[in-house]
Amino acid sequence: MKTHYYLGWFSNFFPENLGRVLQEDIADRKSLAMISSNPSIHEDDGATERSWLDQADIMFDEYHLINYRVQKEDAQTIIQNASVIFLLGGNILNQNRFLTDYELSDSIKKSNAVVMGASAGAINMSAKWLCSKNFGDEVEMSSVYDGIGLDNFSVLSHFDLENNMALVQSELSPLSEEMNIYASNKDCALRIKGDKIDIFGNVYLISHSEIQKLDETF
C-alpha cells in the first residue's frame, strides 16, 4: 500500500499527532533520499525538513541529497533503494526541471518508499499544478505544469489562503474543472494511503470552481 504525504511548511516541528502517524508509516528507516529544489546551488539543503524528522524521532541509517552534484545514474540508484523519498521545499520550477533532467519521476512512481514533499516538493508530487506570478512564481504568464503524478489531483501548498481566498478560487477555477485541487497553508498535511485521504490542519478542496474546507481526520 503506497503512502504519500503532501506537506505545507512547519513553523517549528511536526505536531505530535502528525509525528505519531509518520512514525507508524515509516517502518523501514534504512535510507532517506532528499531531492533538492535548488539543485544547482552547491550547499547543504534539507536541514529544516530533516530537523522535522529528527524531532519526531525518525532517524535513518543513510541520508542522501540528490542534486546536480550527484550523477544521474547514482541518483536513480538512490531512489530505487530509498525507504523514504522527500522532495524538499524551495523553488518549484527548478525542482520540476531537475526531475525532468534526471528522469526521476518514473523511478519515484515505481518506488514502494513513503514519498513526502514539503511546499514546492508537495506541488511537484501532484499530477498538475498552476504556475502563476500571483502565487509568487517568477513568471509573466500563468501556465499549467505536469508534476510527478503520484495521485490524480493538483496541490497548492504553503500559500496564504485565508487572506487570498478569492484570488485562489479565481486562479485555480479552470484547472479545478479538470481535477480536484487540494490547497493548504503552513502547518498542514494531506496523507494518501491506498485509497484513503487524511487531512491535517486547514486544507481546502477546490472542485468544479467550488471551494470548501475539509474536516481534519488526524
Within 8 A by CB and 6+ apart from 208, the residues are 176, 177
pLDDT grade, residue 182 (50/70/90)? very high
Mean pLDDT of the chain, nearest integer: 95
Q: Range with the lowest mean pLDDT among 33-37, 79-83, 163-167, 213-217?
A: 163-167
Q: Range with the lowest mean pLDDT among 34-48, 124-138, 177-191?
A: 34-48
The domain 3-213 belongs to what CATH superfamily? Answer: Class I glutamine amidotransferase (GATase) domain (3.40.50.880)
Mean pLDDT of 13-24: 96
**Given this model, what pLDDT does residue 1 score?**
87
**Given this model, what pLDDT does residue 42 score?**
66
Q: Range with the lowest mean pLDDT among 11-15, 69-73, 98-102?
A: 11-15
Residue 2 pLDDT > 90: yes
pLDDT grade, residue 75 (50/70/90)? very high
Residue 184 pLDDT > 90: yes
pLDDT grade, residue 163 (50/70/90)? confident
Concatenating the DSSP letter of every residue in the chain gives --EEEEE---SSS--HHHHHHHHHH----SEEEEE-SSTTS-S---HHHHHHHHHTT---SEEEEESTTS-HHHHHHHHHH-SEEEEPSS-HHHHHHHHHHTT-HHHHHH--SEEEEETHHHHHHSSEEEE-GGGT-S-SS-EEEE---SSSSEEE-S---TT-HHHHHHHHHHHHTTS-EEEE-SS-EEEEETTEEEEESSEEEEETTEEEEPPP--
**Given this model, what pLDDT does residue 218 score?**
83
